[in-house]
Structure 1
Amino acid sequence: MIGQGDVVRLFDDLDLWDCWPLAHEDGRTVRHMDRQWWFFLSAPVFPDPVQRHGHARIRLLSLGADGWRDHGNAFADAFTPGSREWAGCCVLMDDGETVQHFFTAAGRRGEAHETCEQRMFLAIGSLTADGPGDWQAPREIFVADGQRYVLDRQDMGTPGLIKGFRDPAWLRDPATGKAHLLFTGSAAWSDHAFNGNIGIATFDGREWVLGDPLIEAIGVNNELERPHVIVRDGRYYLFWSTQTHTFAPEAVAGPNGLYGAVADSLAGPWHPVNQGGLVAANPDAEPKQSYSWWVTGEGEVWSFVDYWGMQGRTTGSHPELLRSNFGGTPAPRFTLCFEGDSVTIG
């Protein structure tokens, strides 16, 4: 259970949520200048934290023996093409110098009203004494095809029903050497309101090419968020986050939690870990205390503190808790143990 002592704010004026590390191509977390380098979505503190999604910027922090250091927004103002910056991943290439930062551009810079359009971009930079930086102009790497993945500007977005084309996450497949990006998608061949899937694109040496979804949840769940793969002992473990309210009404809703599937190769077939697919969940007493889990190459799990200490109350009936009980900061971390089809908390 997350308690007061676990909610350590890094900023008074900024909320932090989804995070990802600068990682090596094989998934290991980079240690540079004796520090880890982490990216967070950030936004000014609003009375209602839901507003943060419409103002999100990617912020760079580093973690060392002296604790956290803030390095400001990862990208300069007006550098990225969206009206907001949403989650992605950042990879230090094996030359030890080149950095590739994949991210989601939400909306379009200068748009008259906020949309939920999502596009995926790459900014190439380098590793400097001050961490990843020196970014070149970002370029769009691939687009939704409207057949496997929903292509929709989404002028309006309802929480839990927004269609996905976001959250690029790197994988260098050790079996083939090929580079892939996994992402949060929505099935274009289905008009079901709950039609989430996990997509993949592969780099063919010249460009990124869309592939068929790895997993689909039509009629079950709308958002399989921030999918990423960890390879252990020749097996592939695919993780994603989801929330109770994104399950279809006719489905058996699971808790807000980290879910997973396992396969012997990236091509599958995939089947749920731990039989039902659940890896870690918020406790029943505090079902929204943390969210957006990211498993590092070392098997360490990061997330952020969401609504904690609610004690059975809701923000609907207690709007005064919207601000006071939103964490907006990194949550306590834990490690996973991998054994065959089982992934447990260590």
Structure 2
Amino acid sequence: MTTTRWTRHHLDLITDDPATTAPLITGPVEPALPGFDLWDMWPIQEEDGATALFDGRELWMGLAAPAAGHPEDRHDVARIRKLAYDDGKWIDLGDVFADGETPGSREWSGTAIRRGDGTVSVFYTATGFRGEQRPTFAQRVFEARDGVHEEIARPDLRHFLPADQVDGGPGRILAWRDPAWFRGRLLIAASIPWGERYMGAIALTDGGSGNHPLLVADGINRELERPHIVVRDGLFYLFFCTHRQSFEPADAAPTGLYGFVATALDGPWEPLNGSGLVIGNPRAQPDQAYAWMVLDDLRVVSFLDYRGPVERANFGGTVAPLLRLRLEGHRTWIEPC
């Protein structure tokens, strides 16, 4: 099985193109979850990737934390929250898991699938360890189903670095997180060695420790987050997101949604639009949104991040305006939603 490499040559092909530049987000955006920061959202999906409906409405999950203090501290107390999306409105349904139910000190991103028997599998990242005195950054991938939480995928240390750090912070930690279910396998944001540092990768696994790198950022980026796949017109579209600060060097490319396309899950994968860039934040607000997820109907959800310096006054912490993609082979376009 071939590992695809995302290289500096691809980044050199990025241009200022309206087809891949998100519209500027202006004006106030009403919070979906008043009193809480909300980010990294995903819907409950059917096994074929379609967004599931429950009594005619969509059910979503996302990370949430009280809207207080510096926004970057939210990662240390994140919980998975459930919301309904009905007729354009968000309805808070509370925490997905009870206090102390999960094995980490907090919960990070994942996906959720409605099984054929009607039960829902929640794939998520357990970060740190329950009861620890201060947050650590070990990351483990779990499936929760019918109240049972099972660790289902560990990194193959022949290929990946263990995400077991004690100290860290946003942009300074290894990855084994953001599990996305796809046809019985998982995509996971991972890290592999690169000289004395590390670079981002996407792992493909069928569970256990048998996993390999599907895509690696060949010395150009240290975090390929929230990987997921959409199938369209017989083609497989692999999407992920990353921050401009995660490139080597920083700002070598914009914060955005990136993607590759292939005729089969195992590749080989080719970068969309030549460079891999699918949606980039505009230069005027380079951090305005993050954590894009492309849905089966090509809606694209993200969260409102910073519209200005990294401080509470500029942080959105809620659902950003929806976008929509058009996919035609190796080309993509942003369309009005």
TM-score of the pair, normalised by structure 2 = 0.89
- CA distance in 2: counterparts of 1:27 and 1:152, whole angstroms: 28
Instruction: Give the letter for the 1:108 counterpart.
Output: F
- CA distance in 2: counterparts of 1:336 and 1:112, whole angstroms: 44
Aligned to 1:156: 167
Does the Cα contact within 8 Å between 1:161 and 1:193 map onto a contact in 2? no
1:139 corresponds to which of 147, 150, 163: 150
- CA distance in 2: counterparts of 1:149 and 1:324, whole angstroms: 38
Q: CA deviation at 1:325?
A: 1.3
SS at match of 1:41: strand
Residues 161-181 of structure 1 show CA distances to partners (whole Å, capped at 9, x for unaligned) of 311000000111xxxxxx111
Change (3 A) 1:338 1:66: closer
Does the Cα contact within 8 Å between 1:236 and 1:265 map onto a contact in 2? yes
Instruction: Give the letter for the 1:343 counterpart.
Output: T
1:11 corresponds to which of 9, 14, 33: 33
Gaps of 5+ in 2: 1-23
Change (3 A) 1:329 1:112: same
Matched, 1:75 2:97: yes
- CA distance in 1: counterparts of 2:209 and 2:262, whole angstroms: 22
Aligned to 1:98: 119
Matched, 1:305 2:304: yes
Does the Cα contact within 8 Å between 1:194 and 1:217 map onto a contact in 2? no
Q: CA deviation at 1:149?
A: 1.6
Change (3 A) 1:284 1:28: same
Change (3 A) 1:194 1:221: farther
Q: CA deviation at 1:158?
A: 3.9
Q: CA deviation at 1:343?
A: 1.7
- CA distance in 2: counterparts of 1:10 and 1:211, whole angstroms: 37
Residues 196-247 of structure 1 show CA distances to partners (whole Å, capped at 9, x for unaligned) of 1000111xxxx54532111011311000000001111111100000011001
- CA distance in 2: counterparts of 1:217 and 1:167, whole angstroms: 17
- CA distance in 2: counterparts of 1:194 and 1:145, whole angstroms: 16
- CA distance in 2: counterparts of 1:328 and 1:201, whole angstroms: 32
Give the number of equivalent residue pairs: 312
Does the Cα contact within 8 Å between 1:167 and 1:227 map onto a contact in 2? yes
RCO higher in 1 or 2 (8 Å CA, sep ≥ 6)?
2
Instruction: Give the letter for the 2:152 counterpart.
Output: I
Q: CA deviation at 1:193?
A: 2.2
Instruction: Give the letter for the 2:241 counterpart.
Output: S
Instruction: Give the letter for the 1:183 counterpart.
Output: I
Aligned to 1:275: 274
SS at match of 1:197: strand
- CA distance in 2: counterparts of 1:105 and 1:150, whole angstroms: 17
SS at match of 2:318: coil
Instruction: Give the letter for the 1:122 counterpart.
Output: E
**Stretch deviating more after TM superposition (140-149 or 42-51):** 140-149
- CA distance in 2: counterparts of 1:258 and 1:276, whole angstroms: 12
Instruction: Give the letter for the 1:68 counterpart.
Output: W
Gaps of 5+ in 1: 126-135, 173-178, 316-321
Aligned to 1:54: 76
Aligned to 1:324: 313
SS at match of 1:324: helix
Matched, 1:261 2:260: yes
Residues 174-197 of structure 1 show CA distances to partners (whole Å, capped at 9, x for unaligned) of xxxxx111010001x544424110
- CA distance in 1: counterparts of 2:195 and 2:107, whole angstroms: 28
- Runs (4 or more) in structure 1 with deviation over 4 Å come to none
Does the Cα contact within 8 Å between 1:192 and 1:219 map onto a contact in 2? no
Aligned to 1:41: 63
Aligned to 2:15: none
SS at match of 1:305: strand
Does the Cα contact within 8 Å between 1:161 and 1:246 map onto a contact in 2? no
Change (3 A) 1:209 1:234: farther
- Identity between Structure 1 and Structure 2 (%): 44
Q: CA deviation at 1:291?
A: 0.4
Matched, 1:2 2:25: yes
| RMSD of aligned residue pairs (Cα, Å) | 1.5
Matched, 1:338 2:337: no
Does the Cα contact within 8 Å between 1:18 and 1:87 map onto a contact in 2? yes
Q: CA deviation at 1:8?
A: 1.0
Instruction: Give the letter for the 1:226 counterpart.
Output: R
Matched, 1:193 2:197: yes
- CA distance in 2: counterparts of 1:210 and 1:4, whole angstroms: 48
Does the Cα contact within 8 Å between 1:60 and 1:73 map onto a contact in 2? yes
SS at match of 2:210: strand
- CA distance in 2: counterparts of 1:153 and 1:194, whole angstroms: 14
Instruction: Give the letter for the 1:102 counterpart.
Output: F
Q: CA deviation at 1:148?
A: 1.1
Aligned to 2:286: 287
TM-score of the pair, normalised by structure 1 = 0.87
